[in-house]
Amino acid sequence: MCGRFALYSAAERLEGQFRLPLPFPIAPRYNIAPSQPVLAIRTVRETGTREWTHFQWGLVPAWAQDPKIGHRLINARAETLAEKPAFRNALRYRRCIIPADGFYEWRKQGNRKQPYFIRHRDGKLLALAGLWEYWQGADGSELQTCTIITTDANALIRPLHDRMPAILPDDAYERWLEPTVQRADTQQWLSLLRPAPDDALIAYPVSPRVNDPTYDDPQLIEPSE
């Protein structure tokens, strides 16, 4: 699963890797938690162009009666996206990329859980595969929300958890974000949602302060002793 992540790179790095100018300022964040806003890239269906935007983390399907369902839909399993009512339309029409410098996972050690920070070995940004939705309540309230897709863990992550976020390789950005048209065969997108190569990432223990989402500072990603 993916329940916390960090995005602290400067705008220039984001613009360079994803080849899309940022139209608004961003602040470094080291402890992004569910229900908080997350930065993402999506394709505008009407024009076929890409744009940066923010989504609330925790997907609320358009048909949902209660937006609280989003608390349970922060992640979506790649294997069942095409079958689950909450995700199958978003897979066809509303895919997004959620950039991250790294994500957190926890390993049980005795009576406690030790958090680990996982990032790219070469310091590159991670392109997390996501889905987004638009929801409107009976009172006229509106939400745009997202979920992070997960896949089987690779050899590095497996000792920590059996799932990991689906990280898109550089050459998959175009295909994942292609203009959204209905496709009966969704395999073209599902085939991109594979575990990262075993040697692509590194993981190291960090402070348990990350357990509290009110903490948000660079010390959270520093290796702990």
- Quote the number of domains for the chain: 1
For residues 225 and 223, give the distance between their C-alpha atoms in angstroms, rounded to a whole number: 7
- CATH classification at residue 151: 3.90.1680.10
Chain centroid, CA 170 distance in Å: 16
58-85 confidence digits (pLDDT tens): 999 999 999 999 999 999 999 999 999 9
Catalytic (active site) residue 146: no
25-41 confidence digits (pLDDT tens): 999 999 999 999 999 99
Q: What pLDDT is recorded for position 71?
A: 94
In the set 96, 105, 133, 146, the catalytic residue is 105
Q: Domain range holding 170? A: 5-221
| Contact of 52 with 44, CB cutoff 8 Å | no
In the set 2, 96, 133, 146, the catalytic residue is 2
Catalytic (active site) residue 174: no
Closest to 144 measured CA to CA, from 5, 51, 22, 24: 51
For residues 180 and 149, give the distance between their C-alpha atoms in angstroms, rounded to a whole number: 18
Chain centroid, CA 125 distance in Å: 12
For residues 149 and 209, give the distance between their C-alpha atoms in angstroms, rounded to a whole number: 26
